[in-house]
Amino acid sequence: MLVQTQAEGAGAQEITRILGHGLTARGHEVHHVFFFRRTAAFDQQPNTYFCAPERPADIPSLFRMLRNLLRHMRAVRPGAVLTFQHYGNLLGTVAARLTGAGAVIANRVSARALEPAWTRALDFVFGLTGLFDRVVVNSQAVADEYGSHPRRYRDRLVRIDHGFEPKRSHVSAIEARRSFGLPSDAPLLGSVARLHETKNLSAAVRVLTLHPGWHLALAGQGPERARLEALARSLGVAERVHFAGELSPERVAQFLKSLDVFVFPTLAETFGLAAVEAAQAGVPVVANDLEVLREVLHADDGPCALFVDANDTAAFAAAVDRLLHDATLRAALIAPSRGLETRYSVDVMSGRYAELIQAASAGEWRAVLAGENPNPGR
């Protein structure tokens, strides 16, 4: 059973979608559980349960959601529970322990900047006491955040990098732009992200003020849309900012095909799946200069993006301008990006999770984890 907070077409949900497919292909019966439904992104997925039709707005609706979670987990009786996002990790673990489910494998896919202090404190307690059997981290940058944790917690850490499905499309750039109602002949910047303040998409809107011919397309949904629209109007660039809404994986591929430059000004990530997908699809990437993005957006032959302080509007715009006009630089970034598909293989990711689940069933954690501790020697 894969448990997380909300059902929508965002990065953490994309990981559980493709992981579910990978585990099903390996013979597992996979169930997806979301605490509440935010969009229709998972309405057609088999074995999917929404504990509530929308985000609980008061104490009674919260308790109904938790009651439904417990009832469903008790009915399914999963042999292993994989939890995602900070609320998913905490509530999913409590439900698993109360219903006698199998091993709990928590997944750290929320950046610390997005977590309240009290959830970080409970995470510490859950790992220290063994309520989490294992904690999966998806990058070395995240693993390093646990350096000061007690050994008893760190021994539960397992590093499994995200895998991703390449976003390829056979339509032409002109056809892709036409399908989204985007301008056919203007330099087009774009991003795929939940419209949330931590994605810092306002920084991408601001670069348009320095280049009157540029347009920006944003794929995703979220609470920040109204504020982004208001910002665009206040800056006089509203007619050059295009909102594509939430897209299916197939439509994301077409959206990426339409772009000249992918911009990723996010303030906090544990991996940065959308930027990896864009780079592998051959779209030049300008990303905020975060340690984790420098780690993840790198293949054997070199970096796969330009890194810049995204809150420095002039520097951000200059990096985009370089990619628009320097063919040699674009080629230098796109060439190593092809190796990202191998580095972040869906098959490898699914295989590692399958090993963890098998070890949970057999009580053989140590054999599976041999050599896999992301903090060796600590």
Classify residue 156 as exposed, middle or buried by CB count within 10 Å of its CB (0-12, 13-18, 19+).
buried
What's the confidence (pLDDT) of residue 359?
A: 87
What's the confidence (pLDDT) of residue 114?
A: 84
Q: Say which residues have a Cβ less than 8 Å from residue 369's Cβ, sequence separation at least 6.
A: 158, 359
| Low-confidence residues in the chain, pLDDT < 70 | 362-378
**Alpha carbons 208 and 194: distance in angstroms, whole number:** 20
* Tokens representing residue 240 in the block: 């050059």
DSSP conformational letter for 53 = S
Backbone angles phi, psi at 286, to 5 degrees: -115, 120
DSSP conformational letter for 163 = P
What's the confidence (pLDDT) of residue 371?
A: 43
- Whether the CB-CB separation of 104 and 357 falls below 8 Å is answered with no
The predicted model scores a pTM of 0.91
Backbone angles phi, psi at 334, to 5 degrees: -70, -35
Backbone angles phi, psi at 218, to 5 degrees: -120, 125
- Whether the CB-CB separation of 241 and 182 falls below 8 Å is answered with no
What's the confidence (pLDDT) of residue 377?
A: 36
Structural domains of the chain ordered from first start: 2-163+345-369 (3.40.50.2000), 173-342 (3.40.50.2000)
**pLDDT tens-digit series, residues 184-194:** 999 999 999 99
**Alpha carbons 14 and 293: distance in angstroms, whole number:** 18
CA atoms within 13 A on the CB side of 353: 35
DSSP conformational letter for 230 = H
**Alpha carbons 103 and 363: distance in angstroms, whole number:** 9
**pLDDT tens-digit series, residues 80-89:** 999 999 999 9
